[in-house]
Amino acid sequence: MSILALEARAAQVWFDDNSLCVLLQDGRKISVPLSYFPRLLKATPEQRQKHELSGGGLGIHWDELDEDISVPALLAGVPDQTQTG
């Protein structure tokens, strides 16, 4: 993973119909499919909006959904690693 990815921090989070979108503090915008994160995919729009930035923007946390996403992992294209079953 590059230094730019490791230092990436979120400034803003929003959703469109099929994607999680993140504006980084350095001005870059990233968008990843909600299918990468089953909890977010299954969540209501209201639940998705109840997020907070953690670690100064290094992560995104949804308390109600028990979901934590690393911003550097988003840049690396890493989907949810939660094991189910």
Range of the domain at 43: 3-76
Contact 63, 80 (CB under 8 A): no
pTM of the predicted protein model: 0.85
Query: Domain holding 65: CATH number?
Result: 3.30.2020.40
Does the residue 85 lie in any domain? no
- Tens digits of residue pLDDT in 14-62: 999 999 999 999 999 999 999 999 999 999 999 999 999 999 999 999 9
- Pick from 39, 23, 26: which is nearest to 74 by CA? 23
Instruction: Answer whether residue 20 is part of any domain.
Output: yes
